[in-house]
Structure 1
Amino acid sequence: MSTELLKILKTRFEKHKNRHQGIEWAQVEAKLTASPKKLKVLAIMEETGGEPDVIAFDKKTGEYTFVDCSAESPKGRRSVCYDQQALDERKEAKPADSATEMAAAIGIELLDEEAYRALQALGAFDLKTSSWLLTPPAVRKLGGAIFGDRRYDRVFVYHNGAQSYYAARGFRGLLKV
């Protein structure tokens, strides 16, 4: 699987050069080959419809940042409420999982608002769907959670009850390698 996944990632990398200007695939591939656990996480991101791609390199840490770059919120990660607390508080019509629990199980971080806006600066994402975002504790404490999408050629960040879930709302993840 890792050879096939590396081929998929390389093809995506070459197709979307605007997402990672100044980054060379050979260095990314070497880092991935040396990180089999991270490669497994990327495989799950791919399997759940995330289409992960490199969007940044941190010179201080030497880490590449991969983010779900699927046009819409990943199909295999939709119809979830925000977190375990929200899932536990739902009395009926519970979703199968929550965004934070799924992200932790996969081994990725939810995008926060800043990372989501940075992703949106690289292309038009979530034109028909929306994605849960890492919610500030003060908002979550009050029962809410935030999500983002792009409508009318603008990026919007909204709020909703953390227990809510919709067929068109999932989450995007971030992985540093």
Structure 2
Amino acid sequence: MSNKKDLTVEQREELLGVLKARFEKHMNRHKGFDWDKVQVKLEANTEKLWSLGEMEETGGEPDVVGYDQEKDEYIFCDCSAESPKGRRSVCYDRAALESRKKHKPENTAIDMAMAMGIELLTEDQYRALQKLENFDTKTSSWVQTPSDIRELGGALFCDYRFGHVFVYHNGADSYYGARGFRGSLRV
């Protein structure tokens, strides 16, 4: 991930091409939506396009999963089959990372999401995503954790097994090679 929140013209064109191809391939995620309208929004919001580039670079395969009519915003979400590879083996947040005495992971889900300009999915968003397709059948993803759980040292993660979405808890300082996080972005 770069610190510069801008893409070159070539990078923008390439990313828009990737996003358009994915949009057209997975119309079940956004029935009745028009790519040209999405593209106009993206071209007008270059910092958000940069965030989508970061989602793509870390293996998230972002795609449109909704539209907020009130705010006139398209909702993108990581739609990779499994938790994005470039965002795994991270604990939940900075406090959890700093509390580890040994074997600290390189980063946290919250810090990475903030740096990318995206938000971790909520449990409700995760459940809604699973209604579109089955995701995380072999991996799991951290989700936004209520403050009362976090204050007690825990954090929540979800996955999809046996035809159901499961929500679990773990110490926020834990990290696993098969656990990452999914993000969302409004454009």
TM over 0.5: yes
> Which TM-score applies when normalising by structure 1?
0.99
Asked if residue 62 in structure 1 is aligned to residue 72 in structure 2, the reply is: yes
For each residue in 1:65-99, what CA deviation from the matched residue of structure 2 results, as whole angstroms up to 9, or x when unmatched? 00000000000000000000000000000000000
Which aligned segments of 4 or more residues in structure 1 are displaced greater than 2 angstroms?
A: none
Unpaired runs of 5+ in structure 1? none
For each residue in 1:28-55, what CA deviation from the matched residue of structure 2 results, as whole angstroms up to 9, or x when unmatched? 0010011111110000100000000000
CA RMSD of aligned residues (A): 0.5
Give the equivalent residue in structure 1 for 2:20: 10
Match of 1:125 among 132, 135, 138: 135
1:143 alignment partner AA: G
Give, in angstroms, the shift of residue 22 of structure 1: 1.9
What does 1:98-177 align with in structure 2 at a 5 Å threshold? Answer: 98-177=108-187
> Which TM-score applies when normalising by structure 2?
0.94
Alignment partners' CA distance in 1, 2:138 and 2:157: 13
Alignment partners' CA distance in 2, 1:152 and 1:119: 16
1:107 alignment partner AA: G
Identity of matched residues, %: 62
Asked if residue 96 in structure 1 is aligned to residue 118 in structure 2, the reply is: no
Give, in angstroms, the shift of residue 132 of structure 1: 0.2
Match of 2:40 among 27, 30, 33: 30
Unpaired runs of 5+ in structure 2? 1-10
